[in-house]
Amino acid sequence: MDGFTALQASRFTGSTGNQLRYWDKIGLVKPGVQATGGRPGVRRLYSFRDLVSLKVVKSLLDGGMSLQRVRRAYEYLRSNAQLEEELSSVKLVTDGKSIFKITKDDGEILNMLRQGQMAFFIAIDKLAVEVGTGVTEFLRDREQFVRTLRAVEHELDLETSPRRSRRRTTA
C-alpha cells in the first residue's frame, strides 16, 4: 500500500475531512505520500507516521488545547527533528495550557510551548516510598536503641541491686 486516503485517515484518527483539509492548508500536518498541491481531483495520501501525527493533533485538540498551541508544539517537534526519533519513545502530556514532551529513555520533560524549556515535576509516589523507607529505618533504629537502653538499665539494676540490699540490712 502506497498510502492511506483521506477517508481512511479520517476513520483511523477520528478527524473530519474538513479538519484534514484545513490542517493540510495551514501546513500543520501535510500528507507525506501525496499532497494535492492545490490541484482539484488529486487525492491526499497519508503515511502511517502522518496518521500518528494526525491522531496526536486530534487528541490534543480534544483535550482542550487551542489549535495555535498545538501548532506551536508541533512546529517545535519538527524544527528540532523530534519527528525523526522513535514515536514510541515520546509521550506528550498537557494540562490544557502547555504541552510537555516526556522521553521514555531518560524521563526528561520539556515544555513544547516554551521552545523545549525543561520542566520540573515531582513524582509523589516515589517521594512517599522514600519517606516511608526513612520512617521504617527510624522506627527500627529507635526500637533497637530502646532495647539497648533497657538492657543497659537492667544490667545496672542487677549490679546495684545487691549493694542496696546490703546497705539496708547493715543500717
**pLDDT band (50, 70, 90) for residue 144:** very high
Grid coordinates representing 33? 505520500
Query: Could you give the CA distance from residue 18 to residue 24 in angstroms, rounded to a whole number?
Result: 10
pLDDT higher at 84 or 130 = 130
Residue 53: predicted pLDDT: 83
Residues 6+ apart with CB under 8 A from 131: none
57-106 pLDDT, tens digit each: 888 888 788 888 888 877 777 666 554 455 556 677 776 677 777 766 65
Exposure on the CB side of residue 171, measured as CA atoms within 13 A: 6
Residue matched to cell numbers 537502653? 149
18-40 pLDDT, tens digit each: 999 999 988 888 888 876 666 66
Residue 139's CB: how many other CB atoms inside 10 A? Answer: 10
Residues 6+ apart with CB under 8 A from 114: 98
Span 1-53: which CATH code?
A: 1.10.1660.10
Query: Could you give the CA distance from residue 101 to residue 91 in angstroms, rounded to a whole number?
Result: 6
Q: Which residues of 37-61 are buried (b: 16+ CB within 10 A; e: fewer)?
A: eeeeeeebbbbeebbbbbbbbbebe
Residue ranges of domains in the chain: 1-53, 63-121, 124-171
